[in-house]
Structure 1
Amino acid sequence: MLDPTHDDPPILVCADLQVEYLTQGRRHVILDGDAALPRCLDLLTLWRDNLWPVMHLKRIAQAAWFNPASKLTDWIAEAKPRPGEMTFEHPLPSAYSSARFVDYMSNIRAVRCVLLGFSLDETVLATVVDGFHRSHRYQVVSDAVACRQPGADDAAAYKQAVVNVIGNFAIIRTSAELIRTSGAIAMQAGATG
């Protein structure tokens, strides 16, 4: 859960909240974006209302299926970064493929991040594993992440399998847990400010 013993709240990391992943007929359309997006937006609102740090990751791959000039790589309107919120573009699945991201993460103390968003089986998984090997602590919000539709396999089982793998490298939380514990974090942050 959120840890009220820390002076600083964790950074909310919004992974790949891009139009590409919600556009029907696209190769990388995600499985349960309609279910995950409202939870992502609820947590994003919670962080913004409390003026806690927010970071946005944007996948800009150099593959034919992901045209960076296309409007499909734009942010989902409701999740568009606001002034003062950090943004990092990454060419490979892991956010650590961005030199700016690596530099930022290596220069903050006690890296603690809450990760949500799309491309669970790419960006979220790769970032958590890379972060784990750098001793960066992540929490992944299981009901605020979504992934691609796998081939002919059971989609829900596929997502759960990916979440189970991520559980070896990060703490798995639900949006309800984070919202419930946010009051303690807000009080702690207010007492230190």
Structure 2
Amino acid sequence: MKDGPISLIVVDMQKGMKEPAAGVRNNPDAERNILTLLTAWRNASWPVVHVRHISRTPDSPFWPGRPGAEFQPELAPLDDEHVVEKNVPDAFVHTGLERWLHVRGLGQVVIVGVSTNHSIESTARSAGNLGFKTTVVSDATFTFAQEDYAGIPRTADEVHAMSLANLAGEYTTIVSAAEALKLPGSRRPL
């Protein structure tokens, strides 16, 4: 797919991600960096996609109608911004996102949001595999501490770093928010 305007994909920035039950996280400035990018994209009239996870599990904070499923107010979509609802980590599975991007000639995507090792990693892998020029913003994504497969506790920073390492090169380019603000491919500079 050829380069064209760049679409910002904001993944799962919902109120439930701020609940203490979500766990210990990294990148405390991620929301600020996401807002900086979102503001720049809006000022440049670049396309923005907001992805919302809608759980199939009734006791989940992301169950439809629960406060946790709502977008965080400061990162909520504007009326003219596209919203995708998903039920699995990957924003491309059964959502029409790929078609929406193709119809608009959008060959580049910049992915931000949560969580790095789940929705960000799976969405970025699909984007890369589908031929999109894919960028993940390291300081505009975050994740949570968890145990690895061997039962060893890993910090959120360790989980985040390994997830980014899984993506780097083969599926996506990893950049900082400052670097993302300088990406080429738009009709207007940021």
Scaled by the length of structure 1, the TM-score of the pair is: 0.84
- Evaluate the alpha carbon distance shift between residue 9 and residue 123 of structure 1 in structure 2; reply closer, same or farther with a 3 A threshold: same
Question: Following TM superposition, by how much is the alpha carbon of 1:128 offset from its aligned partner in structure 2, in angstroms?
Answer: 1.2
Question: Following TM superposition, by how much is the alpha carbon of 1:13 offset from its aligned partner in structure 2, in angstroms?
Answer: 0.6
Matched, 1:103 2:102: no
The residue correspondences of 1:123-142 to structure 2 (distance < 5 A) are 123-142=119-138
The code of the aligned residue for 1:161 comes to: M
Say which of 49, 55, 58 aligns to 2:49. 55
Deviations 1:105-157 (A, max 9, x none): 34343521011011111111111112222112210001100112213213212
8 Å contact kept, 2:85–2:95 = no
Q: 1:165 matched to which residue of 2?
A: 166
- Evaluate the alpha carbon distance shift between residue 77 and residue 110 of structure 1 in structure 2; reply closer, same or farther with a 3 A threshold: closer
Question: Following TM superposition, by how much is the alpha carbon of 1:163 offset from its aligned partner in structure 2, in angstroms?
Answer: 0.6
The residue correspondences of 1:167-186 to structure 2 (distance < 5 A) are 167=168, 168-179=170-181, 181=182
Q: 1:145 matched to which residue of 2?
A: 141
The residue correspondences of 1:14-29 to structure 2 (distance < 5 A) are 14-24=10-20, 26=21, 28-29=22-23
- Evaluate the alpha carbon distance shift between residue 31 and residue 190 of structure 1 in structure 2; reply closer, same or farther with a 3 A threshold: closer
8 Å contact kept, 1:22–1:30 = no
Matched, 1:155 2:156: yes
In structure 1, C-alpha distance between the alignment counterparts of 2:177 and 2:45, rounded to whole Å: 18
Q: 1:68 matched to which residue of 2?
A: 64
In structure 1, C-alpha distance between the alignment counterparts of 2:140 and 2:124, rounded to whole Å: 15
In structure 1, C-alpha distance between the alignment counterparts of 2:125 and 2:144, rounded to whole Å: 19
- Evaluate the alpha carbon distance shift between residue 53 and residue 104 of structure 1 in structure 2; reply closer, same or farther with a 3 A threshold: same
Say which of 167, 186, 189 aligns to 2:187. 189
> Gaps (5+ residues) in structure 1?
none
8 Å contact kept, 1:88–1:98 = no
Matched, 1:43 2:40: no
In structure 2, C-alpha distance between the alignment counterparts of 1:190 and 1:119, rounded to whole Å: 30
SS in structure 2 of the partner of residue 94 of structure 1: coil
Alignment root-mean-square deviation, CA = 2.2
The code of the aligned residue for 1:189 comes to: R
SS in structure 1 of the partner of residue 112 of structure 2: strand
In structure 2, C-alpha distance between the alignment counterparts of 1:132 and 1:50, rounded to whole Å: 24
The code of the aligned residue for 2:54 comes to: I
Question: Following TM superposition, by how much is the alpha carbon of 1:29 offset from its aligned partner in structure 2, in angstroms?
Answer: 4.2
